[in-house]
Structure 1
Amino acid sequence: MPSSVIRRFDYDPSRRRLSVTFTSGDRYDYQAVPPEVADGLRGAVSKGRFFSARIRDRYAFERHPKTE
């Protein structure tokens, strides 16, 4: 299901890194994300709600602002 907040996301299980690109164009790479959390995001009906409850403010991240 499309999200009004999250444009796309990718998960690298070998590095346990979840990359989330928001509709603003900013990308955040979240570190040490367990595979079950990434699977939960993948299967969530509301990606934004799941992200807010289970990922935001829980994992260290690196921000990559949109460049124009």
Structure 2
Amino acid sequence: MDARFALIRAHDDSIRRYLRLLNTQLTDLEREYIESRISEERSTLQSIREARGEVSSLPANGGA
């Protein structure tokens, strides 16, 4: 159980880090990459939570 919690927390932390990066000056290519990573992280996080029968604690926009 602790390992799953750590995995969820790691993905949550990554999403928050990527969202902070979006508030910085980026090239279009960098912004596209970060947006794709956010999407991938959210998808993975959703899969983990669905496997555990949980609902998402982050809104679709990550609270941003």
TM over 0.5: no
Greater relative contact order: 1 or 2 (C-alpha under 8 angstroms, separation 6 or more)? 2
Name the structure with the higher helix share: 2
Larger Rg: 2
TM-score, scaled relative to structure 2: 0.28
TM-score, scaled relative to structure 1: 0.27
Name the structure with the higher strand share: 1
